[in-house]
Amino acid sequence: MIPSGKARVAGVIGWPVAHSLSPRLHGFWLEQYRIDGCYIPLAVRPEALPDVLPRLPALGLRGANLTLPHKEASLGFCDHVDDSARRIGAVNTLVFEDSRIRGSNSDIFGFKENLVLGAPAFRVDAGPAVVLGAGGAARAVIAALQDLGVPEVRLVNRTLGRAEAIATQLGGAIRPLGWQQLGAVLADASLLVNTTSLGMTGQPPLDVDVTGLPDGAVVTDIVYTPLETPLLAAARARGLVTVDGLGMLLHQARPGFEAWFGVSPEVTPSLRDFVLAPPT
Ligand code: ATR
């Protein structure tokens, strides 16, 4: 639907922003629900953020998503930061109410929904989870697993100090481990999550022996290019339930869309196909 003068406007702020799938994703929903609205890419250099962000509510925008490299820096421009953003130390969704900026982080929600809907029979509280990587994505994944009642997170990272920092910041039962200890902590794990960039197209492969996991384990990857990463392919060949990473991206977009455009959107197979298809 072609926007009218009354169209609700939101967008994604990033630098670079050209790679972002968010305009396609929100654009699909705007069409599907026949909403008078627009969702636009906003290419904002890091040094311009302090000038640009506080002015967006005055432009009449409903809100925005934030992508690299703005997620941490934007915290400081919010008038209100919710618990999700505070736990992760990063914001990815802004809602403008009058001149106030409310920040939240929907990655926790996105990971939870993707896992719960992608592996419905899986019980997170059934056993320890092994999380690979200790960047921003790992924080969201661990916070989500804690919300779902995981008894222990074994946080395996190349740089042990980063894993230790997350364990201290998030609290709870998180055991920081070096990469060389990975083989020893898989045998009774109920879930393996990759949050590193390894296995992504153009990145080095992720070297994990999934034969060390128990039969009922679930394996998920936040990488979605390729959709079936070598880790997920190996897990599937081993007979394990796998959940790909695209769903986390799609589900994390739902709270923002609902806040800006007033409709709670659905993640459907057609949405997945559309987002994955190259733009024409
Ligand atoms: P994000 O915020 O998107 O999670 P990040 O902060 O750059 O990204 O974190 C990337 C993760 O991938 C880190 O855990 C990183 O390990 P280090 O903390 O040791 O840097 C991990 N990673 C990236 N390349 C890696 C490699 N070649 N081998 C092992 N881990 C790697």
Q: How far is CA 18 from the centre of its chain?
A: 18
Q: Is the pTM of this model over 0.85?
A: yes
**What's the pLDDT at 179?**
96
With beta carbons less than 8 A apart as the criterion, state whether 102 and 80 touch: yes
Distance 224 CA to ligand 1 centre (A): 16
3-class DSSP state for residue 129? Answer: strand
Ligand 1 atom closest to the CA of 132, numbered from 1:
14
**What's the pLDDT at 208?**
95
Distance 74 CA to ligand 1 centre (A): 22
**Per annotation, catalytic residue among 70, 71, 139, 272:** 71
What sign results for the dihedral spanned by CA atoms 218, 160, 174, 128? positive
Ligand 1 atom closest to the CA of 134, numbered from 1:
14
The length of the chain is: 280
From the number of C-beta atoms within 10 Å of its C-beta (0-12, 13-18, 19+), residue 166 rates as buried
Distance CA 2, CA 16 (A): 27
**What's the pLDDT at 130?**
98
What's the token pair of residue 104? 């939240």
What's the token pair of residue 164? 């230790």
Distance 132 CA to ligand 1 centre (A): 9
3-class DSSP state for residue 205? Answer: coil
Pocket of ligand 1 from Cβ distances under 6 Å: 133-138, 157-159, 162, 195-198, 204
Distance CA 10, CA 261 (A): 9
**What's the pLDDT at 278?**
76
3-class DSSP state for residue 219? Answer: strand
Annotation marks residue 112 as catalytic: no
3-class DSSP state for residue 227? Answer: coil
What's the token pair of residue 272? 């997945």
Q: Give one DSSP letter per residue of 69-128, joined into a string.
A: TSTTGGGGG-SEE-HHHHHHT---EEEEETTEEEEE-THHHHHHHHHHHHSTT--GGGS-
Ligand 1 atom closest to the CA of 158, numbered from 1:
19
Distance 127 CA to ligand 1 centre (A): 25
CA distances (Å), origin 106, targets 17, 137, 254: 19, 11, 8
* Atom 6 (ligand 1) nearest CA: 135
- pLDDT mean for each 10 residues of the chain (280 residues): 96 96 97 98 98 96 97 97 96 96 98 97 95 96 97 98 97 97 96 97 94 96 95 97 97 98 98 88
Q: Are strands 174-178 and 129-132 parallel, antiparallel or unpaired?
A: unpaired
